[in-house]
Amino acid sequence: MRDCAFRALKMEGGVPRMAFPDRCMKCQHCLAVCPTGAVTFDGKRAADSVSVAGLSLPSFEAVENWLRTRRSMRHFAAEDVDRAALSRILSALGNVPTGCKVRALTFTCFPTRASMDGFRRDFISVLERHRDGTIRARRPARFLRPH
């Protein structure tokens, strides 16, 4: 209960209860740190969670090298990403650290090369119409405003 940074929990009848749902950031920290696994959250139970015990973790050097060498990807294969691999990647996104305990992140995924190309065409068309003055946003996106 003390671990909730937002003080959303309160002791009632000897057990912690959600007392201030409007404060809860849905970070699930309470679920993760409960020493007896007694906390359930949004239908999730500690018993169904992945345990770190027995997990093979990368070495410090491996993580350090990965951080040093990571780059954004600017060349893409022409083939669609395998659906099973894509599904696994999207599922892993549910566990990314946010640095601020906010879980309400939205990712947009274009599952096929064709859908990505369509979005790119539409996006460029909107940019061109902004540039030409054909359409005007009430408040242009920051990257469209003059510096």
Contact footprint for ligand SF4 (CB under 6 A): 4, 6, 8-9, 24-30, 41
Nearer to ligand SF4, 29 or 130 (CB): 29
Facing residues of 77 across strands? none
Residue closer to ligand SF4 by CB (options 26, 45) is 26
Categorise residue 109: left if φ over 0, alpha if ψ from -120 to 50, beta otherwise: beta
Smallest separation (angstroms) from ligand SF4 to the CB of 111: 30
Smallest gap from Cβ 103 to ligand SF4, in A, equals: 8
Are β-strands 15-18 and 9-12 bridged in parallel, bridged antiparallel, or unpaired? Answer: antiparallel
Torsion of CA 86, 88, 90, 92, to 10 degrees: -150
Query: CA-CA distances (angstroms) from residue 133 to 60, 80, 122, 126, 127?
Result: 53, 35, 16, 10, 10
Min. distance of Cβ 34 from ligand SF4 in angstroms? 10
SS3 annotation, 123-146: HHHHHHHHHHCCCCCCCCCHHHCC
Shortest Å distance, C-beta 69 to ligand SF4: 33
Which C-beta is closer to ligand SF4: that of 46 or that of 81? 46
> Based on CB atoms, which residue is closest to ligand SF4, 28 or 86?
28
Least distance CB 39 / ligand SF4 (angstroms): 8
Of 41 and 110, which CB lies nearer to ligand SF4 in the complex structure? 41
